[in-house]
Structure 1
Amino acid sequence: MIGYVRVSTNEQDLTAQREALVALGVDKDVLYVDHGLTGANRARPGLREALAACRAGDTLVVTKLDRLARSLPDARDIADELTRKGVTLNLGGSLYDPTDPVGRLLFNVLGMVAEFEADLIRMRTREGMAVAKAKGRLRGKQPKLSKSQEAHLVALHRAGSHTTAEVAELFGVARSTVYRAVQRAGSQG
């Protein structure tokens, strides 16, 4: 038995999923983890490793289908890949049987629910960002340097007494930040 666990943010805890998989018979040494990665993205290192570890006769165990995929096409692709390899999919203790019409129906319903939940999360996030922007709270990424620091950086760079790398190190920023500050000062002056 091979286990796979995933949480979408770094703040979330994997303990409940790990304990559930161990209770289902998965050895702690064969648990593959994706921490802070969304299920909507198929390119996840832990998932890739778990799928690569699966051999004919193995069982891939996840607590719920939405831990494996957040879109119905991805869930189907993963299930089909496992079926071709001769690997059984265990969803929280229930074995998925691709030859059973009822099993396929339930799998598709679970996949649609997972996709629906992901769509709701995206919609709520967009709504929250629109409200924050309307209230003036969403201003984007804050600048690395204050106006006076940027002016001082540009003056040092223009004086030619320091290289771009030295100016960047002095202010604790990347060289690209120095280039952008100089470019902004040139377009304003």
Structure 2
Amino acid sequence: MEKIGYARCSTYSQDLTAQRQALSDLGVRKDRIYTDHGLTGTNRERPGLEQALAAVRKGDTLVVTKLDRLARSVPDVRAISDQLEAKGVKLALGAAIYDPSDPMGKMFFNIVATFAEFEADLLKMRTREGMAIAKAKGKMRGKKPKLTEKQQKELHKMHKTGDHSISDLAEIFSVSRATVYRTLQRDQSA
């Protein structure tokens, strides 16, 4: 019976040190901690989680500091819970250990997962509201074009002559072909 740890943070600017230390304090050996860095909990493609789930064996315990580090949606928690149950593995959220094969454990997972999903949905809603307010105030302009106005005009002139291919223009202006196409398309839609 071994403890396998899993830690995750959503952005590369965040640090896993606190989670690693908490897992270590909960009795997980450092070489048995699997991590995902820069991946959201709603993204099911998490290599560190897959490694942790592959590492657990019957009788082991998967340890996470909080449920939202493991998953952010009810379906995801259920899928992970089903995997753990099929393998005969328990889940520890901090110091509390839950058995996904136990009816109370299943109920607990569903309730906590519902709150985790609700919290993620609230965050998305607040982000969208903030972006709408910023846009209304004219503070959100999107990504700046790679070419200046003057460069864009010159690109259009050169393209209209027919003497330069898209690849030539991309090379001359040191941009990708996609940027050349976007620049030309902006001119047509304007």
* Fold conserved between structures, TM > 0.5: yes
* Equivalent in the alignment of 2:116: 114
Alpha-carbon distance, 1:147 to partner: 1.5
SS of the counterpart of 2:27? Answer: coil
Q: Distance in 1 between matches of 2:141 and 2:135?
A: 7
* Equivalent in the alignment of 2:132: 130
Number of equivalences: 188
CA contact (8 A) 2:84 2:100 kept: no
**Aligned match of 2:32 in 26, 30, 40?**
30
* Equivalent in the alignment of 1:167: 169
State percent identity of aligned pairs.
62
Q: Distance in 2 between matches of 1:169 and 1:57?
A: 60
Which amino acid counterpart does residue 30 of structure 2 have in structure 1?
K
Which amino acid counterpart does residue 167 of structure 2 have in structure 1?
A
Which segment drifts farther, 100-109 or 153-162?
A: 153-162
* Equivalent in the alignment of 2:99: 97
Extract unaligned runs of 5+ from structure 1. Answer: none
Q: Do the aligned partners of residues 12 and 155 (structure 1) sit closer, same or farther apart at CA in structure 2, a change above 3 Å counting?
A: same
Extract unaligned runs of 5+ from structure 2. Answer: none
Alpha-carbon distance, 1:98 to partner: 2.6
Deviation per CA, 1:51-79: give whole Å up to 9, x if none: 22223333211111111111112111101
TM-score (normalised: structure 2): 0.87
* Equivalent in the alignment of 2:180: 178
* Equivalent in the alignment of 2:85: 83
Alpha-carbon distance, 1:11 to partner: 1.7
Deviation per CA, 1:85-136: give whole Å up to 9, x if none: 1222121122111343433333222111111110110111011011101111
CA contact (8 A) 2:89 2:99 kept: no
